[in-house]
Amino acid sequence: MDYIGTWKLHSVMVFDDNDLPVYLTPEAYLHSPMPYIDESDEEAVADEMKERQKTIGMKAKICEDGNLYLLMPLPAGVSQAEIDRAVAAGVIKVMDGAMTDDPMHWELRDGVFWLNTGMAGEIMEEPADGWVQPVDENGFFCFMNFRFIKEV
């Protein structure tokens, strides 16, 4: 499989009423219930919708140089001058017209894609080095509660 390129958000994992994980399409996620906020609070709902809009616009860019960038849409209503000032001040980084953080690193091991999440330590009292195999048997790139599919 060729991993190099941009991967768009395919689905978001949420928990259903029985606390079981389910994957929602971006559109379904955008309009799904918000059990962790007071849905009668218009400001809280508006803030959550802004966050969800950013989430469904998220992409992953896998580069040939072994770097992987998570790309988030720039905030709506922000001028190019404001973006340029934020970049110059080191507040944000921009790649492909989207905000990003420092890259994570990936490598192929015997043809298998491995990603260094940078989250090393212990998991269930076992040492963990931060390296994971994020591509599942269906070809989705899985990171946290998101599944991405490669753009063609």
| pLDDT given for residue 118 in this prediction | 85
3-state class (DSSP) for residue 11: strand
| pLDDT given for residue 123 in this prediction | 75
What pTM does this model have? 0.87
| pLDDT given for residue 119 in this prediction | 82
Would you kindly state where each structural domain of the chain is located, as residue ranges? Answer: 5-105+138-150
| pLDDT given for residue 1 in this prediction | 82
pLDDT (tens place) for every residue of the chain, 152 residues total = 899 999 999 999 999 989 999 999 999 999 998 888 998 999 999 999 999 999 999 999 999 999 999 999 998 899 999 999 999 999 999 999 999 999 999 999 999 999 999 887 877 788 888 899 999 999 999 999 999 999 98
Burial class (CB within 10 angstroms; exposed 0-12, middle 13-18, buried 19+) of 137: exposed
Backbone φ and ψ for 102, nearest 5 degrees, come out as: -60, 150
| pLDDT given for residue 86 in this prediction | 96
